[in-house]
Structure 1
Amino acid sequence: MGGVTSSVAAKMAFFPPTPPSYALVEDAGAGVTTLSGQPHRENVELLRLRTRKGNTLAAMYVRHPDAASTVLYSHGNAADLGHLYQLFLHLSFNLRVNILGYDYSGYGQSSGKPSEHNTYADIEAAYKCLIENFGAKEEEIILYGQSVGSGPTVDLASRLPQLRAVVLHSPILSGLRVMYPVKRTYWFDIYKNIDKIPQVTCPVLIIHGTADEVVDWSHGKQLWELCKEKYEPLWLRGGKHCDLELFPEYIQHLKKFFHTVEKSPSHRQAWRESGDRIEPSQKNTDFFEPSRKSTDQREKSRSTRDRTRNTEHRYSNVEKVDKLKISFDQFEKSRRSVDIFERPKRNIEQLDCGRKSVDRLDRIWAS
């Protein structure tokens, strides 16, 4: 019964881009593999990884010469490495990190079929690659999970006590909770982040848009409340599900977070103790209003908060998009369908886009 339910859930939850947005091009003479449509770069390496489930994954490693951390990036739904190529270059350059991105089983040029448990095996293979192939250490690795990618990210983080940090970008409490406001965890639910996040012992940064139409902002807020080692969250006023990277605050806050977690152990301990003395804010958080702060952060004055309110729409101008070196049209096309679920609505209706099927639970029951 469990296998049947898992199979049904996979059909409802995963939407690999069809056809894939890229191909792997091998140049036997030069001994290099590139992404179709992209030039060869000395700091970019295309890989094939083998999982414990027997699937072969496509992966991409971007190296930064001055990196102090390595990011393991688990992307959202309906996206693959071809869509994320420019974003990875941008993050590596601006954050001064190495970054490894990979496609889940059944996505892009990865073999197999997508499923919850296959994604767990996928991220394990990517993590093993970082340790064995690139000499990364657990305490130097930052796991980054976007949307559905928060599932394998939280699962792995809950089992690695020495991780440097975790970033959860538009995360989900669980698959079922995206569709229905259930109060308990059911056995047939997938990606039970709500139950696993308390087991994550490293600093956790949560980023969420307040106008997310796919995964409600309440998911990010509740996960933040459950974190054992909270970091100042980033609530982006007006941010939706697929555009958070276009906000200037996005990269600024990531830089601040990475700088904090890369400090020496003594500095990090001081930050933890400082954070423990600050109680979560009980005020309305309809705009970016941090509740707990790292030691490099000071109490924001009322005028600073006012300036935050006044900048809520500045991120929309084209100059900010140019800074990302990714056109808005290209980015929207590549990241438009990056989630697995659609929010429940009063009258559960069938949406015209296949990836936003919202009546999955009823279908599971009907099966």
Structure 2
Amino acid sequence: MYAMLGRTWRVVRPLLMAYLIVVLIMTFLETWLVYPAPQLSTGNWQPEGFNHQDVWFDSADGTRLHGWLFEHPSPQHIVLYCHGNGELVAHNVRLMSRLRDELDATVMVFDYRGYGNSVGKPHEAGVVADGIAAQKHLAEQAGVEPDEIVLMGRSLGGGVAAAAAAKLGAKAVVLQSTFACMVDTAAVHYPWLPVRLVMRNRYDSVARLADYDGPVLQSHGTSDEVIPYSQAQLLFKSVKSDRKLWYDVPDGLHNTPQPDDYYPKLREFLDF
């Protein structure tokens, strides 16, 4: 019996060691996987024909952050847009201009630490602090209270918007293609890894939105290949607000743009 156990251990041991090495490597790669910040050169930093201005502000720990402000002369809403993990402000100029015009809103988009012209290295606590700092800065610029800001977040930005709403409140939270909890999404893509035990960036939006009872509009592609549709619905079901609205993007993938009829529904939701 002991001989058999010894032979089994000799077979299992190298496999176990190999597995632990893979887990260690993936742990080291987590920041790169969660925050694949594009190169600065990929963005159009001097777009012509768009009325916007540079804004600079500091996160709570002094990290210098950069964004773009798209002002409306008579805004009905003040919107902070938190972009996805593979984007920069310079990738979103047309979208911000559209939001400004279709919603009659002043809109600000910003880059998290380590993205674009913002300095530092991204991690959950820092990125969340960046979102909160952006909300405070925009409120000060617009002359309103932070809880009068509409927080809009896509993908990773949904996690940032949820965290900011839990901390400062919001006029409304608008979520696009986002997760219930990042760890659960990672577990779908890496079922062979103990992500729930070792993952540092967790972004538990379900837990965070438990502290927010304002309006929520959530949209998601029915064919999203990155964040499963069922996980997005789990987040929506957890929202305790009396005023929440779900919007399907039929056959939409993770990076499928919102359909044209989304914007009138968004405006109607915000104007209520």
Normalising by the residue count of structure 1, what TM-score does the alignment of the two structures yield? 0.61
Distance 1:88 1:68 in 2: 15
Distance 2:28 2:215 in 1: 34
Q: CA deviation at 1:40?
A: 6.6
User: Could you tell me which residue of structure 1 aligns to residue 78 of structure 2?
Assistant: 70
* Counterpart Cα distance in 2 of 1:47 and 1:207: 29
Match of 2:129 in 1: 121
Q: How far is the alpha carbon of 1:70 from its aligned partner?
A: 0.5
Distance 2:43 2:33 in 1: 24
Tell me the SS of whatever aligns to 1:67: coil
Query: What are the within-5 Å matches in structure 2 for residues 49-88 of structure 1?
Result: 49-88=57-96
Q: Which amino acid aligns with 1:239?
A: G
Deviation at 1:187, TM superposition (A): 7.3
Give the match for residue 176 of structure 1. 183
Match of 1:15 in 2: 36
Deviation at 1:122, TM superposition (A): 1.0
Partner AA of 1:166 in structure 2: V
For residues 187 and 156 of structure 1, the distance between their equivalents in structure 2, rounded to whole angstroms, comes to 25
CA distance in structure 2 between the aligned counterparts of 1:67 and 1:221, rounded to whole angstroms: 32
What number of residue pairs does the alignment pair up? 241
Contact 1:166 1:202 in 2 (8 A): yes
Alpha-carbon separation, structure 1, partners of 2:268 and 2:135:
24
Distance across 2 between alignment mates of 1:38 and 1:111 = 25
Is the counterpart of residue 244 in structure 1 residue 254 in structure 2? Answer: no
In structure 2, relative to structure 1, the CA distance for the partners of 1:7 and 1:60 (3 Å cut) is: farther
**Superposition map of 1:259-278 within 5 A:** 259-260=271-272
Contact 1:76 1:149 survives alignment (8 Å): yes
What amino acid sits opposite 2:31 in the alignment? A
CA distance in 2, matches of 1:57, 1:136: 21
* Counterpart residue number, 1:217: 229
Q: Larger RCO: Structure 1 or Structure 2 (Cα < 8 Å, ≥ 6 residues apart)?
A: 1
Q: How far apart are the structure 2 equivalents of 1:68 and 1:186?
A: 45
Counterpart CA distance in 2 for 1:6 and 1:119 is 19
* Structure (1/2) with the larger helix percentage: 2
Q: CA deviation at 1:160?
A: 2.4
Q: Does 1:196 align with 2:208?
A: yes
In structure 1, give the amino acid aligned to 2:244.
Y
CA distance, structure 1, for counterparts of residue 167 and residue 197 of structure 2: 22
Q: Which letter maps to 2:81?
A: Y
CA contact (8 A) 2:114 2:121 kept: yes
Question: 2:220 and 2:255 mapped to 1: Cα distance?
Answer: 10
User: Which of 232, 237, 240 in structure 1 is aligned with 2:245?
Assistant: 232
Q: Which amino acid aligns with 2:234?
A: Q
For 1:6 and 1:152, the matched residues in 2 are separated by: 22
Cα deviation digits, residues 91-118 of structure 1 (max 9, x gap): 1101111111100111111111121111
Given that 1:155 and 1:193 are in contact with CA atoms closer than 8 Å, whether structure 2 keeps it comes out as yes
Structure 2: runs of 5 or more not aligned: 1-25
Counterpart of 2:143 in structure 1 is 135
Equivalent position SS for 1:244: coil
Counterpart of 2:53 in 1: which secondary structure?
A: strand
Residues 344-355 of structure 1 correspond to what in structure 2 (within 5 A)?
Answer: none
Q: Which runs of 5+ in 1 are unaligned?
A: 24-34, 261-367
**CA pair 53-94 structure 1, distance change in 2 beyond 3 A:** same
Measure, in 2, the Cα distance between the counterparts of 1:123 and 1:237.
Answer: 30
Label 1:7 to 1:48 Cα distance change in 2 as closer, same or farther (>3 A): farther
TM-superposed deviation, 1:7: 6.7
1:186 to partner: Cα distance: 5.1
**Deviation digits for residues 313-356 of structure 1, max 9, x if unmatched?**
xxxxxxxxxxxxxxxxxxxxxxxxxxxxxxxxxxxxxxxxxxxx
* Cα distance change on mapping 1:214 and 1:154 into 2, 3 Å: same
State the alpha-carbon separation in 2 of the partners of residues 108 and 258 from structure 1. Answer: 30
Quickly say closer, same or farther: Cα 1:108–1:193, change in 2 above 3 A: same
Contact 2:149 2:171 in 1 (8 A): yes
Q: Give 2:168's match in structure 1, choosing from 154, 160, 165.
A: 160
RMSD (Å) for aligned C-alpha atoms: 2.3
- Scaled by the length of structure 2, what TM-score is found? 0.81
User: Conserved in 2, the CA contact under 8 Å of 1:244 and 1:250?
Assistant: no
